[in-house]
Structure 1
Amino acid sequence: MATIKNGVIGKASGKVGAVIASSWKSINYLKGLPKKRTKGMSEEQLIQQERFLTISKFLMPITPILKVGFGLSKTETMAPTNVAMRLNIAQAITGVYPNFALDYSKIDISTGSYLNGGAMAATVAGGILSVDWDTTLNSLYKTKADDQVIILIYQPEKDEFMTAPTPPTRADGTIDIEIPSHLLGGKGHVWIFFTDRKATKVSKSSYLGELDLA
């Protein structure tokens, strides 16, 4: 694949013979048409494909959260979701092909050096998920009372995610989230991270554990 800067053909797009011209993030590319596969994939290729599918099924539904959580780590050639994919495919997949599974405790939904909520905890009682964190502000990290707190809950049996309807702030120190009745009775996994209002500072996510949703 070649990159076009300001060649004699200028900015190009579409198919020309055996070449496809395209543009992404103001970068112009030339690449050859893919060759037709004449033989099946190797075992190694099948393993890599299954690892990719295992993590992508989990991450794709939470793309809006990943855009915030990994927004500061994106590159000119890699979107935030792809950064999240690469990180989690390396650390969060367990098991042996073809029976891969996810280690939820090792999944990151954000990355960064912003200060999190200190002593954080999550509990469930009477169909209500309660999450608590430290409200102390840190002058070195310049944390703010109006920092947003992003909370994610995942129920594997239903394969459903939920978040707080409106993200609480660092100053709130706690939030109660009502769990929909159809998610009750199973297990739930909870993550949390902090970001400033403009998402220019983001903390690494913390896994708050597996809870009985009752």
Structure 2
Amino acid sequence: MGTIVNGANGGFKGKAGSVIGSSWKSINYIKGLYKKRSKPASELQMMQQEKFRTLMRFLLPINMFLKIGFGRKNTERLTPINAAFQFNLKQAITGTYPAYSLDYSKISISDGGLYGGGTVSVAHAAGELTFTWDPTANDTFETFGDDMVFVLAYHPEKDEFMSSPAPSTRASGEISFIISEHLQIGIVHTWMFLTNRSKTRVSKSVYLGEVLLN
């Protein structure tokens, strides 16, 4: 049985006949009950489903980054992870069905107008990854020394992500973290992006490339 919200003219929650009422971010929705598919999915539908699985499998473990990097995108209609999915869908998936893969160089962890880290790089030595950037603040571009810097590394062979225990700041110019022992062989893909202190402004993420660990 459905429950009426905000009086007789409002939305409702729950099941009422052949429809279900729900709401998200103060927006009321009505949808029909799920009907069991009577015919197999078309090839186009299977292609879309496989693209969805391929990309979401990568994005879900880094949802905490996406909440920052895409947290200001169309917030009335999309969650950050869905905004990131839509942003990356056309540019990051490569290959042909059913063997889709990801072009890591085209994956974006964030998107925004904050000025980034200028000349950036990443290096590996003695079991550590070290990310560097230009520490200079710029009044013209409204960047400050306490802007926050987030770094991310992905080990595709192990299907694991790595990052620093806490973000650094623009003024620091670099950050390092120790790679877990079981991840110290192979390659990792690396990204970086910045936000202001309040996380209301964010830069575009930068793909820093592959790093050979062994």
- TM-score, normalization: structure 1? 0.95
Report the count of equivalent residues: 211
Aligned to 2:20: 20
| Equivalent-residue separation in structure 2 for 1:27 and 1:100 (angstroms) | 35
Structure 2: stretches of 5+ with no match in the other structure:
none
| Equivalent-residue separation in structure 1 for 2:182 and 2:74 (angstroms) | 36
Check if 1:79 corresponds to 2:79.
Answer: yes
Alpha-carbon distance, 1:5 to partner = 9.4
1:1-214 matches, within 5 Å, as: 8-214=8-214
Alpha-carbon distance, 1:128 to partner = 1.1
| Equivalent-residue separation in structure 2 for 1:204 and 1:7 (angstroms) | 44
Alpha-carbon distance, 1:68 to partner = 0.1
Seq. identity, %? 53
Alpha-carbon distance, 1:33 to partner = 1.2
Any conservation in 2 of the 1:5–1:28 contact (CA below 8 Å)? no
Structure 1 counterpart of 2:125, one-letter code: A
Structure 2 counterpart of 1:28, one-letter code: N
| Equivalent-residue separation in structure 2 for 1:124 and 1:139 (angstroms) | 33
Any conservation in 1 of the 2:5–2:12 contact (CA below 8 Å)? no
Alpha-carbon distance, 1:143 to partner = 0.7
Structure 1: stretches of 5+ with no match in the other structure:
none
After superposition, give the CA deviation of every residue in 1:53-85 in whole Å (9 maximum; x if it has no partner).
Answer: 000000000001000000111331111110100
Any conservation in 1 of the 2:91–2:107 contact (CA below 8 Å)? yes
SS of 1:136's equivalent in the other structure is coil
Structure 2 counterpart of 1:68, one-letter code: I
Alpha-carbon distance, 1:175 to partner = 1.3
- TM-score, normalization: structure 2? 0.95
CA RMSD of aligned residues (A): 1.5
Alpha-carbon distance, 1:197 to partner = 1.2
Alpha-carbon distance, 1:10 to partner = 2.8
| Equivalent-residue separation in structure 2 for 1:50 and 1:212 (angstroms) | 29
Structure 1 counterpart of 2:99, one-letter code: N
Structure 1 consecutive aligned stretches of length 4 or more whose deviation exceeds 3 Å = 4-7
Structure 2 counterpart of 1:119, one-letter code: T
Structure 2 counterpart of 1:192, one-letter code: M
| Equivalent-residue separation in structure 1 for 2:55 and 2:81 (angstroms) | 11
Alpha-carbon distance, 1:112 to partner = 0.3
| Equivalent-residue separation in structure 2 for 1:187 and 1:193 (angstroms) | 21
| Equivalent-residue separation in structure 2 for 1:60 and 1:152 (angstroms) | 14
Alpha-carbon distance, 1:35 to partner = 2.3
Alpha-carbon distance, 1:7 to partner = 6.8
